[in-house]
Chain A
Amino acid sequence: MLLFHYINRLKCLLRDKETVFWTLLFPILLATLFNIAFGSITSATEMFSPVATAVIDNQAYQDNVPFKEALKAVSSGEQPLLKVSVLSQDQAEQKLKEGEISGIITVSDGINLRVINTGLYQSLIKSFLDEYLQIEKTAGAIIESNPSAVQNGLFNSLADRRNYTDEISFSGAEPDTFLAYFYALIAMACLYGSFWGLRNVIDIQANLSPLGARRSVSPTHKLTSIVCDQLAALTIHFAEILITICYLVFVLGVDFGKRGGLVVLICFVGSVTGISLGTFVGSAIRKNEKVKYAMLNGISLSMSFLAGLMFIEMKYIVAQNVPLLSYINPAALLSDAFYSLNIYESLTRFYLNFGLLCSLSVLLSVASYMLVRREKYASI
């Protein structure tokens, strides 16, 4: 009997081809667009490339041998800091306005920098100039206190640039912020299961659809029909999420870490949460169908937004300022679960998210069942 219900419900839902198609295609399309947009972004924005700089070609510059040497030192080698071109005043200003170079260095009485706006690249040039001027000053002060320093190799030591820093990492994973957009997207796709949940409520409640009315007078126990309906919806939705994950991993190459089994597990829980959210909204809100759809769409969008779908720092801002919200927002829990699977060694945080999601689904499902069971209608 259960199987009969389940299979027929599955057929019913699958016949709505348009919906199946679009709920599946929506995350795939968005993920593709994300991938196009973010594909080259990290290298373009965060990755370092030598700063294009101009030096005005004048007599003072030609005469200042130490500065010339210093410039040469930072613009060559394995990891050059600057890309220096020696230009005339007019050429340099033209290029600065066109944005081809970040700043113009002029050597006259002192050394100064001209820029057109403020930014990290400009600050890097300034930092280099500061350093040059500072070393001059330091050397002067040292020689003043100890004239013999020059014979003892002060200048060699000054020129000998050591690296005092050493890169370590807490875990093997690179902190690639853009992954979080994909995590938030999967979270949203999971919450989209709520539309299937809503559809189930509409098709089973006598006051919502003729089909619901027909099914209410059948002798089947309500729990049986609800469970079968939900299982059918879960099957479809979970399959959709798995296809999306496969697409992300194998086609787009999004990194979900090495614990594939747990990724699938959290996707399953996410699908359950999504569907039970839809069921809950469908049974708790006594408004027409349009309002329910609008509410669900609004809820899943806002939750995904708070989990960082449109603006990734949002998730962190919420966690810092309103921590409670990030513990009850299923989208945040889901994206955080993916994140902690990929970034952390320990699984404590993952299981925390997992546990919270499970409790949330149980809570929503029980509440919806309480709302829909034993409803009686005097007239419809």
Chain B
Amino acid sequence: MQVFKTYFKIISQTRTSLIIYYVVFLAISVLISRYSTQPASTDFTESKTRIAVINRDVDSSVVQGLIDFLAQKNNIVDIEDDAEKLQDALFFRRVEYIAIIPKGFSEDFKAGGSKPIEKVIVPGSTTSRYIDMHINRYLHTASITASYSRLDADNQARLVSESMAAKAEVKMLSKTTSNGFIGYIYYYNYFAYVILAISILGISTIMMVFNQPDLRRRNLCSPLKLRSMNYQLALGSAIYSVACWLITVMFGIVIYGESLLSSGLLPMLILNSFVFTIVCTSIGFLVGVLIKSQNVQAAIVNVLSLGMSFICGVFVPQAILGKTVLRFASFLPAYWYISVNNAIGDLSYKADFNKILIPMLIQIGFAIMIFSVTLFISKQKKTSNQ
């Protein structure tokens, strides 16, 4: 087992760089999963959109009533009346709708004029339709009440706010909702990025040492069989990846503690992530056989880890990726890993074990295939003249 032992000697020599990578990747995934988590609920709650309301008019009763109504139905975010700040907020979707009440709006409204509320939106978006409905509904009711009822201003305002309270009854067909937005599912999705990057980086770093031309020639003329050497290298890589996997899983338990442990989903998430770790090991092994320089390593690792993560739905949920993209992504192992995670997230309200088992088997298929290709290339390189 000389090769195997050497493998770990190299790891301990390169530990500083591996630790740097590991900390960076883990920090990234923890930060994203914290910030992109949305609370899940078991009762129906109306969607609250983040909007900004800029009042350039006086605080009249109609303006105040409108703002109160919008505040009740949505989350109003305070933003200064400054074009650049508003644009920033809309671009990064801190708000999805900016309503600007123009100067002189109340006067005009009272006189039955047609001065509109100005809105800055993402053109054609669903949220803009939703907020439009709220604004139109409030102003429509207010204007009709003003022109037809014979009430004084205070009573009019009361009538409007009372009738605005009318609500349709909503029932949830099943009491539990999708876990898709729960933090730990996110964490396990980002796990794909972390383990891909760290396995490929770590394993290829070590393989590059073994593949230095002179060293490799020396090893090839030793009595050790190529196959045995490859198996020892693979074993070393497997142990390295499993260690990374274990640390990441442990870290997830530390962060999400109670909620993760009590959900009952942990064993399945762990199993799935383990299967994916095997795939990553094989990819790392393949990359290690192919590359020679550090610069190239950084480029390839980023293309593989970031590219696969984007296409397969790690950073952007699979649900919103286009159909063609997903069909393309299904040729990549991370797609299957994520789809199992999503199925696990949905488990509480529709149990479908085929959606979990089959993709896992597909992942194992990927691992076997990539590993065989690696062995083949390694054999080819033995005979080639480099």
**Residues of chain A having any CB pair with chain B under 8 Å:** 16, 18-19, 22-23, 25-26, 29-30, 33-34, 36-41, 44-49, 81, 93, 96-97, 110-124, 126-138, 141-142, 145-146, 149, 152, 154, 157-158, 161-171, 174-175, 177, 180, 192, 195, 199, 287, 289-291, 293-298, 301-302, 305, 309-317, 319, 339, 343-344, 349
Report how far A165 CA is from B124 CA in the complex, Å: 14
Cβ contacts under 8 Å, A170 to chain B = 83, 86-87, 120
Set of chain B residues within 8 Å of A134, measured between Cβ atoms: 137, 141, 163-164, 166
> Inside 8 A of A167's CB, which chain B residues have their CB?
118-121, 123
Can you name 9 A-B residue pairings with CB atoms under 8 Å? A25-B299, A29-B303, A112-B168, A124-B129, A137-B166, A175-B91, A290-B17, A294-B20, A297-B301
Q: Are A157 and B170 in contact (CB under 8 A)?
A: no
What residues on A are CB-neighbors of B147 within 8 Å? Answer: 157
Q: Which of B27, B44, B321 has the most CB of A within 10 A?
A: B44
In the docked arrangement, what's the CA distance between A133 and B174, Å?
Answer: 25
A71 CB to closest chain B CB (Å) equals 13
Contacts of B211 in A (CB 8 A): none
> B141–A165 contact, CB under 8 A?
no
> Which of B14, B159, B307 contacts A290 (CB under 8 A)?
B14
Q: Which residues of A contact B21 (CB under 8 A)?
A: 294, 297-298
- Minimum Cβ distance to chain A for residue B136 (Å): 5
Contact A44 B119 (CB under 8 A): no
- Cα separation A53 to B222 with both chains bound (whole Å): 72
Task: Check if B136 sits within 8 Å of A22, measured CB to CB.
Answer: no
- Out of B23, B148, B167, name the residue touching A152 (CB < 8 Å): B148
In-complex Cβ contact of A33 among B44, B136, B137, B311 (8 A): B311
- Min C-beta distance of B133 to chain A, whole Å: 5
A168-B119, A174-B123, A316-B94 known; 8 new pairs, CB 8 Å cut-off, are: A26-B299, A40-B321, A46-B124, A118-B172, A141-B163, A290-B16, A295-B17, A297-B301
Partner of B119, one of A48, A128, A137, A166: A166
CB of A166 within 8 A of CB of B84, answer no
Interface 9-mer from B244-252, B256-264, B287-295, B355-363: B287-295
Q: How many Å lie between the Cα of A319 and that of B94 in the bound state? A: 12
Residues of B within 8 A of A128 (CB): 133
* B310 touches which of A19, A33, A126, A132 (Cβ 8 Å): A33
Query: Is A310's CB under 8 angstroms from B117's CB?
Result: no
Instruction: Give bound CA distance, A154 to B150, whole Å.
Output: 13
Which residue in B133, B193, B300, B303 is a CB contact (below 8 Å) of A124?
A: B133
> Is B218 at the interface (CB under 8 A from chain A)?
no
* Contact present for A130 and B132 (CB under 8 Å): no
A290-B17, A293-B298, A302-B27 as given contacts; A127 in contact with B116, CB under 8 Å: no
Which residues of chain A are near B35, meaning CB under 8 Å?
311, 313-314, 317
A118 contacts B44, C-beta separation under 8 Å: yes
Q: Which of A145, A161, A165 has the most CB of B within 10 A?
A: A165
Partner of A113 from B122, B125, B170 at Cβ < 8 Å: B170
Q: Given A180-B91, A195-B295, are A120 and B126 neighbors across the interface (CB < 8 Å)?
A: yes
Q: How far is the CA of A312 from the CA of B128 in the complex (A)?
A: 21
B32 part of interface (Cβ distance < 8 Å) = yes
Partner of A112, one of B114, B171, B322: B171
A19 interface neighbour in B20, B27, B293, Cβ under 8 Å:
B293
- State the CA gap A301–B379 with chains docked (Å): 35
A92: shortest Cβ distance to chain B, in Å?
A: 11
Q: What is the distance, in angstroms, from A57's C-beta to the closest C-beta of chain B?
A: 18
Chain A residues near B378 (CB-CB < 8 A): none
- Interface membership of B36, Cβ < 8 A: yes
Q: Which residues of A contact B170 (CB under 8 A)?
A: 112-115, 122, 126
Pairwise interchain contact A141-B159, C-beta atoms closer than 8 A: yes
Query: Is A133 in contact with B166, judged by CB distance below 8 angstroms?
Result: yes
Interface of B is mostly: helix
Q: How far is the CA of A301 from the CA of B159 in the complex (A)?
A: 57
Complex Cα–Cα for A38 and B307 (A): 12
Q: Which residue of B lies closest to A302 (CB)?
A: B24
Chain B, 180-197, CB within 8 A of any chain A CB: 193
What 1/0 mask marks residues of chain B from 30 to 57 whose CB sits below 8 Å from any chain A CB? 0110011000010011110100000000
Closest to B307 in A: A33
Q: How far is the CA of A236 from the CA of B297 in the complex (A)?
A: 19
| Interface: B154 (CB within 8 A) | no
Q: B162 at the A/B interface (Cβ < 8 Å)?
A: yes
In the complex, which residue of chain A has the Cβ closest to the Cβ of B317?
A45
Does B9 have its Cβ within 8 Å of any Cβ on chain A? Answer: no
Q: Does B368 sit within 8 A of A, measured CB to CB?
A: no
Q: With a CB–CB cut-off of 8 A, which chain B residues contact A192?
A: 298-299
With contacts A128-B133, A164-B135 known, is A175 near B122, CB below 8 A? yes
Cβ of A293: which chain B residues have Cβ within 8 Å of it? 17, 294-295, 297-298
CA distance A311 to B316 in the complex (A): 8
Q: With a CB–CB cut-off of 8 A, which chain A residues contact B139?
A: 162, 164
Instruction: Note all chain B residues with C-beta closer than 8 A to A130.
Output: 166-168
B220 close to A (CB within 8 Å): no
Partner pick for B41 among A118, A124, A295, CB 8 A cutoff: A118
In the assembly, what is the distance between CA of A319 and CA of B179, in Å? 30
What is the CA–CA distance of A30 and B315 in the complex, to the nearest angstrom?
A: 14
**How far apart sit A169 and B86, CA to CA, in the bound complex (Å)?**
11
Structural contact, A18 and B296, CB atoms closer than 8 A: yes
Measured CA separation A119–B38 after assembly (Å): 12
Is there contact, CB below 8 Å, between A46 and B144? no
Closest 7 CB pairs of A and B: A294-B17, A40-B322, A129-B168, A166-B116, A316-B92, A26-B299, A134-B166
Shortest CB distance A144–B (Å): 9
If A18-B296, A301-B24 touch, whether A37 touches B311 (CB-CB below 8 Å) is yes
